[in-house]
């Protein structure tokens, strides 16, 4: 079912049901507005009360989300992709209550809101998303710190536990605890996660790290990390597709990358914790763009605890890192195209934080359908990942109306699979049905979901009336 599946979460069955309906309404309607996603004034009041209720705290919502994710990945090899985004509510500064749930953001002058740091879990074989094993949400003080003052210098001397950047290590620790029944977990982070203490404390037999290098560290044998990598023999090449960015004047292109790798030893510095190991052994992989006309070429220097001794292993590391696109897409839907959380009409920071968490949960479902579309016909992802048996009966009914007379316009998937349901949703959203066409995007699936559930709700009402 397209719902969060809260169950025994809030100590009240009615609150569980309300939370489930809330997430489903968010997904189906695709809006930040409580008024727009609510089918009636009573539903609207119920949603507001859920957000304002002290018995539905953020901690319980995040705990429920992480528990469901843990169950889904039991025995699997997965990636835990982490990143941070800020929710800036400055445009509503006159309406937002200035309490301890709201603070400054990174915006130079007009920052007001909070930060969110999810750990998105995907299958290591196909990038299929299972959910979030941890979500760290917090806010700074309302008093803006002047980074140019001595306070900034004092901040650098703090231990990692007392810095905001500890979110990376804290989330990695939570990942280890929450995904302890997974076969293997690879934690993927961008450059901000390049923290020595992580390499020294997080890895174990079940948990590995894959982090983009930020610092050109000095090596124990002399020289620097980046220089050592650049001097390595080119092991092979790799091609990736780069999305365009109009803001930066970048066109969409295919980039050719030269691949290098080597084993490295990093040493503890004067600024890292004295309790951390003096050295750590890692493998470094470099993917550097060559040729082409782009002025901003790709250059990824990746540090991992996974042994890299062959080109195929290096390419696997590069591919896993490239899957960071999915969490960036989650943030895009959360903040811009889709929910637009920063335009929320709510007045309480606590309520907006809860709404943000419910939106994150809803986004997973639509990504599951999108990723399922790319899977082979015989992949057999079960429809029950997203839909109930009743919903699948309705999908089958609608499928018969959406199919054409020719084989090319028939649903090619088995009825019990997620691909089958996604095909129906895509057709309802305006996709023409031809395999040669561009695959349906998020917007198409969103439109299809709304149409599907309009029909489903009417169908269920008709069934209810007929049984009276």
Question: How many domains does the chain fold into?
Answer: 1
Q: Is residue 15 part of a domain?
A: no
Which pLDDT score is estimated for 95? 87
Is the CB of residue 238 less than 8 Å from the CB of residue 318? Answer: yes
Which pLDDT score is estimated for 2? 47
Q: Is the pLDDT assigned to residue 241 strictly greater than 50?
A: yes
CA 308, CA 156: separation in Å to the nearest integer? 33
Residues 6 or more apart whose Cβ sits within 8 Å of residue 93:
112
Which pLDDT score is estimated for 123? 95
Q: Is the pLDDT assigned to residue 424 strictly greater than 50?
A: yes
What DSSP assignment string belongs to 405-431?
SSGGGS--S-TTBHHHHHHHHHHHTT-
Q: Is residue 416 part of a domain?
A: yes
Q: Is the pLDDT assigned to residue 46 strictly greater than 90?
A: yes
Q: 390-409, pLDDT tens digit by residue?
A: 999 999 999 988 888 888 88
Q: Is residue 390 part of a domain?
A: yes
Q: Is residue 379 part of a domain?
A: yes
Which pLDDT score is estimated for 179? 97
Q: Is residue 89 part of a domain?
A: no
Q: Structure tokens of 204?
A: 């174990």
- Alpha carbon of residue 72 to chain centroid: 16
For the purposes of burial, counting CB atoms within 10 Å of the CB of 10, is it exposed (0-12), middle (13-18) or buried (19 or more)?
buried
- pLDDT-derived band at 150 (thresholds 50, 70, 90) equals very low
Q: Is residue 425 part of a domain?
A: yes
Q: Is the pLDDT assigned to residue 273 strictly greater than 80?
A: no
- pLDDT-derived band at 1 (thresholds 50, 70, 90) equals very low
Q: Is residue 399 part of a domain?
A: yes
**Domain span at residue 426?**
375-466
The more confident residue out of 227 and 294 is: 227
Which pLDDT score is estimated for 248? 63
- pLDDT-derived band at 148 (thresholds 50, 70, 90) equals very low
The more confident residue out of 263 and 371 is: 263
- pLDDT-derived band at 120 (thresholds 50, 70, 90) equals very high
How many degrees, rounded to 5, is the angle at CA 315 between CA 440 and CA 438?
Answer: 15
Residues 6 or more apart whose Cβ sits within 8 Å of residue 288:
257, 258, 260, 297, 298, 299, 300
- 423: CATH: 1.10.740.10
Q: Is residue 424 part of a domain?
A: yes
Helix (H, G, I), strand (E, B) or coil at 88: strand
Q: Structure tokens of 333?
A: 């839907």
Is the CB of residue 355 less than 8 Å from the CB of residue 344? Answer: yes
CA 463, CA 468: separation in Å to the nearest integer? 9
CA torsion, points 250, 254, 255, 261, in degrees to nearest 10?
140
- pLDDT-derived band at 4 (thresholds 50, 70, 90) equals low
Distances in Å between the Cα of 117 and the Cα atoms of 39, 198, 331 are 32, 17, 10
Q: Structure tokens of 284?
A: 């470094």
């Amino acid at each position: 079912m397209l719902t969060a599946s809260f169950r025994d979460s809030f100590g009240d069955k009615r609150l569980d049901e309300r939370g489930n309906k809330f997430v489903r309404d968010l997904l189906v309607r695709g809006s930040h507005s409580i008024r727009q996603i609510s089918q009636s004034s009573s539903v609207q009041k119920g949603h507001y009360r859920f957000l304002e209720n002290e018995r539905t705290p953020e901690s319980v919502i995040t705990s429920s989300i992480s528990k469901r994710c843990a169950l889904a990945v039991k025995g699997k090899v997965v990636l835990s992709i982490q990143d941070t985004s800020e929710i800036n509510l400055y445009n509503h500064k006159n309406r937002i209550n200035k309490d301890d749930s709201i603070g400054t953001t990174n915006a130079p002058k007009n920052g007001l809101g909070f930060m969110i740091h999810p750990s998105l879990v995907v299958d290591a074989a196909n990038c299929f998303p299972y959910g979030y094993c941890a979500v760290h949400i917090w806010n700074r003080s309302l008093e803006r710190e002047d980074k140019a003052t001595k306070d900034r210098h004092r901040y650098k001397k703090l231990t990692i536990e007392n810095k905001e950047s500890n979110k990376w290590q804290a989330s990695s620790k939570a990942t280890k605890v929450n995904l302890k029944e997974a076969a293997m977990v690879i934690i993927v982070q961008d450059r901000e996660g390049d923290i020595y203490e992580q390499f020294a404390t997080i890895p174990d037999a079940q948990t590995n790290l894959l982090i983009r290098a930020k610092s050109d560290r000095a090596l124990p044998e002399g020289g620097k990390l980046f220089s050592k990598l650049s001097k390595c023999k080119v092991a092979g090449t790799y091609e990736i597709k780069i999305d365009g960015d109009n803001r930066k004047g970048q066109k969409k292109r295919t980039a050719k990358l030269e691949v290098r790798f080597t084993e490295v030893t990093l040493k503890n510095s004067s600024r890292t914790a004295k309790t951390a190991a003096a050295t750590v052994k890692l493998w470094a992989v470099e993917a550097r763009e060559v040729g082409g006309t782009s002025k901003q070429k790709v250059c990824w220097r990746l540090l991992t605890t996974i042994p890299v001794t062959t080109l195929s292993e290096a390419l696997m590391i590069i591919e896993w890192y490239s899957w960071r696109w999915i969490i960036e897409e989650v943030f895009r839907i959360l903040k811009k195209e889709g929910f637009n959380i920063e335009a929320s009409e709510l007045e309480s920071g606590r309520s907006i934080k809860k709404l943000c968490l419910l939106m994150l949960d809803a986004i997973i479902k639509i990504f599951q359908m999108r990723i399922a579309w790319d899977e082979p016909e015989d992949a057999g992802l079960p429809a029950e990942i997203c839909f109930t048996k009743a919903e699948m009966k309705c999908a089958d009914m609608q499928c018969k109306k959406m199919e054409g007379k020719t084989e090319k316009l028939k649903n090619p998937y088995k009825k019990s699979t997620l691909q089958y349901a996604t095909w129906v949703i895509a057709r309802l959203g305006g996709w023409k049905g031809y395999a040669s066409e561009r695959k349906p995007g998020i917007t198409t699936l969103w439109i299809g979901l709304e149409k599907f559930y309009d029909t489903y709700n009417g169908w269920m009402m008709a069934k209810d009336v007929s049984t009276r």
